[in-house]
Copies of this chain bind each other. A is one copy, B any other.
Amino acid sequence: MKAEILTIGDEVLRGEIVDSNKALMASRLLQLDVECHYQSSVRDDPKDMRDAFHRGVARSDLLLVSGGLGPTRDDLTTEVLADALGRTLEFDESSFENLRAFFERIGREMNDTNRKQAFFPAGAEILANPVGTAPGFLLEEQGTLVFCMPGVPRELSLMMDEQVLPRIADRFEGNQVVSRVRARLLRTFGMGESTLEGELSDIAKDGQTELAFRTSFPDNFLRVVARGASISEADARIEGVIAVIRERIGDLIYGEGDQTLEAVVGQLLAEKERTVAVAESCTGGLIAQKLTDVPGSSDYFLGGVVAYANRAKQTQLGVPEALLAAHGAVSEPVARAMAIEVRERFGSDIGIATTGISGPGGGSDEKPVGLVYLAIAWGAPQEQALGGASSTDSTEAAPGEPAGEGVAVEHFVFSVDRLRHRQLTAQVALDWVRRLLLGLELVGPSLMRSGGGSTPG
């Protein structure tokens, strides 16, 4: 089955927006193992649109169209498609009523131009749009299924899931042509793409399963696909492959699908009733920002100090002036002091600290741009612990978690630009919290040149 995707809109052709709708539709089709052979975009121009519709119907079995269903004069998809396929436009009373109800629900006057959105080409099957004004529709022409959908990503996404994919799957059911497919995305951090590929190169070679690798800095994503004669067979197969992967690189897999590392860390902290505070120099608030992006983070995130200036490290974190003078702000003793101090001052169970040189300036022969010290301090809650936020039994280490108190400090040299240096450092810091809570070794990413135990420089 050959699928084709067509998006319509001047803003796409002018490059004013990056059109993510094509990727959205293509990736959903892959869930049904339907491969997209062509993607194209045309302006809101009747002639170009007509050519594209004719070409799509001629060369593809499935044509997904997005855009041009709105109420304005520029929105021409319905009219032009009807004309191109020699069909009349028909008014649909029930769509009109839905439209009226939609406007009533959002408390706005319905415009006359919206009436246009209740017209469809003869023979169309109408596809509901519960979150917008533009219904979609399905036409069958010369054996090709043509789905027309709105261009608003949220509306398109919902319509793909609720209306389009089930209809495509139904077709398959009848034909018995395709196998059933399961796909899952494993999110890993800490190993480079080529090393990861090497580690897993012998897996998924049976023709029924597939592995694909994708870098999304600083993470690497692993897409696992399995096919079967039935969904349960595909399920069993994908579980088998994932079990093998987890056995080999399980500690690098922090989450699945759209789970971010900060969300996973937040969930672990909440489950284990542990709290955290951060002392950030080079990351400048990035770790705090990531942790607080997660709803409900006030349950475990107590706060932090962004100690950018040296003076702030002294006054806000009590790092002794002598320590700063003797070792410099970017040093093992200062990172250690920051982590211990922030934990004490905020009364948290865990304290994290970063101090480094993200660049582009500030480097020296001894301490090059890219050098960063990361420290994590843990232990029983402090006297200052907040009644509400930390649990009463938190003096006992949870299973897998190191008992007692401790501090770990490590340095790395990340030879990447400023923004990536900050992102990478923040990600290692979050990963250390995850590793600490799961009782895993506190290692840094092998994908970047690590300082290891050696002297930097």
Instruction: Answer whether residue A303 sits at the interface, using C-beta atoms and an 8 A cutoff.
Output: yes
Q: A24-B15, A303-B305 are in contact. Are A384 and B311 (CB under 8 A)?
A: yes
Contact status A23-B19, CB under 8 Å = yes
Residues of A contacting B: mostly: mixed
Contact status B384-A315, CB under 8 Å = yes
Instruction: Answer whether residue A297 sits at the interface, using C-beta atoms and an 8 A cutoff.
Output: yes
Closest to A342 in B: B316
Contact status A48-B38, CB under 8 Å = yes
Q: Which of B15, B301, B304 contacts A305 (CB 8 A)?
A: B304
Contact status B37-A13, CB under 8 Å = yes
Contact status A25-B15, CB under 8 Å = yes
On chain B, the residues within 8 Å of A96 by CB distance are none
On chain B, the residues within 8 Å of A223 by CB distance are 16
Q: Which of B12, B42, B305, B389 contacts A306 (CB 8 A)?
A: B305
On chain B, the residues within 8 Å of A11 by CB distance are 214
Contact status B298-A308, CB under 8 Å = yes
Output the least CB separation between A115 and chain B (Å).
21
Q: Which of B15, B36, B384, B419 contacts A293 (CB 8 A)?
A: B419
On chain B, the residues within 8 Å of A295 by CB distance are 359-361, 418
Choose among A39, A277, A361 the residue with the greatest number of B CB atoms under 10 Å from its CB. A39
Instruction: Answer whether residue A224 sits at the interface, using C-beta atoms and an 8 A cutoff.
Output: no
A40 to B23, CA, bound (A): 13
A411 to B284, CA, bound (A): 26
Contact status A311-B302, CB under 8 Å = yes
Q: Which of B24, B41, B284, B359 contacts A38 (CB 8 A)?
A: B41
Contact status A35-B13, CB under 8 Å = yes
On chain B, the residues within 8 Å of A284 by CB distance are 288-289, 291-293, 297, 301
Contact status B42-A48, CB under 8 Å = no
Q: Which of B39, B214, B291 contacts A16 (CB 8 A)?
A: B214
Copies of this protein in the assembly total 2
On chain B, the residues within 8 Å of A278 by CB distance are 306
Contact status A26-B36, CB under 8 Å = no
Instruction: Answer whether residue A367 sits at the interface, using C-beta atoms and an 8 A cutoff.
Output: no
Q: Which of B214, B289, B345 contacts A289 (CB 8 A)?
A: B289
Closest to A385 in B: B311
Output the least CB separation between A301 and chain B (Å).
5
A residues neighboring B (CB under 8 Å) = 11-20, 22-30, 35-43, 45, 48, 212, 214, 223, 277-278, 280, 283-289, 291-293, 295-298, 301-309, 311-312, 315-316, 345-347, 359-362, 384, 386, 389, 418-419, 422
In the A-B complex, the 10 residue pairs with the smallest Cβ-Cβ separation, listed nearest first, are A284-B292, A15-B26, A285-B288, A15-B27, A285-B285, A303-B312, A40-B40, A15-B23, A285-B289, A304-B306
Extra A-B contacts (19), CB below 8 Å, given A38-B41, A305-B305? A13-B35, A14-B27, A14-B35, A16-B23, A18-B18, A19-B19, A39-B40, A40-B41, A284-B301, A288-B288, A288-B289, A292-B422, A302-B312, A303-B307, A303-B316, A304-B306, A309-B386, A311-B347, A315-B346
